[in-house]
Chains A and B, each alone.
Chain A
Amino acid sequence: MSVQSGSKTAPVRAVFLAAYAMISLAPVCYMVLTGFKLPADTAALPPRFLPGLTAPENSFWFRFTLGNFQRILADAETLRYLFNSVFVSVCSTVLSVAVGSLAGYGFSRFPFRGGRDALFFVLSTRMLPPLAVAVPISFMYSRLGILDTRFGLILLYTCFNLSFTTWMMKAFIDEIPTAYEEAAMLDGHSRLEALLRVVLPQAAPGIAATAVFSLISAWNEYAFALTLTSTDAVTMPVRIHAIIGDNSAIPWGPLSAAASLFLLPIVFFGLAMRKHLIRGVTFGAVKG
Chain B
Amino acid sequence: MPAYAIEGLTVAFAGAEAERPALSGVGFQVGAGELLVVLGRTGSGKTTLLRVMAGLQKAAAGRILEDGGGQAAPMDISLLPPHRRDMAMVFQNFSLYPNMTVRENLAFPLRAKAMGLSAHEIETRVAQAAETLALTDKFDRRPNELSGGELQRVAIGRALVRRPKLFLMDEPLASLDAKLRERMVLEIRRLQRSLGCGMIYVTHDHVEAMSLADRILVLDKGKVLQAGPPGDIYRHPVDSRVARMLGRPGINILTHEEAGRMGLPLSEKRLVGIRPESWKVTADAKGPAVAAVVEHLGPQMALVLDVQGIVLRVTAPPVLRAKAGDRFRLGVDPAEILYLDR
Contacts and interface: CB of A to CB of B under 8 A. Distances in A.
A180 interface: yes
Contacts of A249: none
Nearest to B54: A186
B97 interface: yes
Given A201-B99, A287-B143, A187 B93 contact: no
A202 B81 contact: no
B108 interface: yes
Interface string B45-88: 00000000011100000000000000000000000011100011
Contacts of B93: 179, 286-288
A180 to B, nearest CB: 6
Given A202-B98, A288-B175, A188 B89 contact: no
| A177, A187, A288 — most chain B CB neighbours (10 Å) | A187
B223 interface: no
B195 interface: no
B95 interface: yes
Interface in A150-203: 177, 179-180, 182-191, 193, 197-198, 201-202
Given A189-B112, A191-B81, A287-B151, A183 B95 contact: yes
A185 B95 contact: no
Contact of A198 (B55, B81, B97): B97
A223 to B, nearest CB: 40
B144 A284 contact: yes
Contact of A189 (B83, B94, B98): B83
B115 interface: yes
B9 to A, nearest CB: 18
A287 B94 contact: yes
Contact of B95 (A179, A189, A190, A197): A179
A284 B100 CA distance: 12
B82 A182 contact: yes
B83 A188 contact: yes
A264 B332 CA distance: 91
B28 interface: no
A12 B88 CA distance: 57
Contacts of A286: 93-95
Interface in B93-123: 93-99, 108-109, 112-115
Interface in B119-159: 143-144, 151, 158
Interface string B310-333: 000000000000000000000000
B92 interface: yes
Interface residues of B, number: 31
Contacts, number: 79
B88 A187 contact: yes
A190 B81 CA distance: 8
Name which of A189, A191, A287 has the most chain B CB atoms within 10 A of its CB: A287
Interface string A232-273: 000000000000000000000000000000000000000000
Contacts of A201: 99
B234 interface: no
B88 A186 contact: yes
Contacts of A177: 95
Contacts of B89: 183, 186
Contacts of A180: 95, 97-98
B121 to A, nearest CB: 15
- Main SS class of interface, A: helix
B81 A188 contact: no
A202 B99 contact: yes
Given A185-B82, A188-B162, A191-B81, A284 B98 contact: yes
Contact of A182 (B87, B95, B151): B95
Contact of B87 (A186, A189, A190, A284): A186
Interface in B147-201: 151, 158, 162, 168, 175
Contacts of B158: 183, 187
Nearest to A194: B83
A188 B115 contact: yes
Contacts of A287: 93-94, 96, 143-144, 151
A188 B114 contact: yes
A2 B81 CA distance: 47
A77 to B, nearest CB: 45
Contacts of B115: 188
A56 to B, nearest CB: 61
B154 to A, nearest CB: 11
Interface in A270-288: 283-284, 286-288
B297 to A, nearest CB: 31
A197 B109 CA distance: 12
A186 B83 CA distance: 5
A193 B113 CA distance: 10
Nearest to A283: B98
A181 to B, nearest CB: 9
Contacts of B87: 186
A202 B98 CA distance: 8
Contacts of B113: 193
A286 B97 CA distance: 9
Interface centre among B95, B162, B168 (most CB of A within 10 A): B95
Interface of A: 177, 179-180, 182-191, 193, 197-198, 201-202, 283-284, 286-288
Interface of B: 54-56, 81-83, 87-89, 91-99, 108-109, 112-115, 143-144, 151, 158, 162, 168, 175
Given A186-B56, A187-B158, 6 more contacts: A182-B54, A185-B82, A186-B54, A188-B109, A189-B112, A287-B144
15 contacts: A180-B95, A185-B81, A186-B83, A186-B88, A186-B89, A186-B168, A193-B83, A202-B99, A286-B94, A286-B95, A287-B96, A287-B143, A287-B144, A288-B93, A288-B94
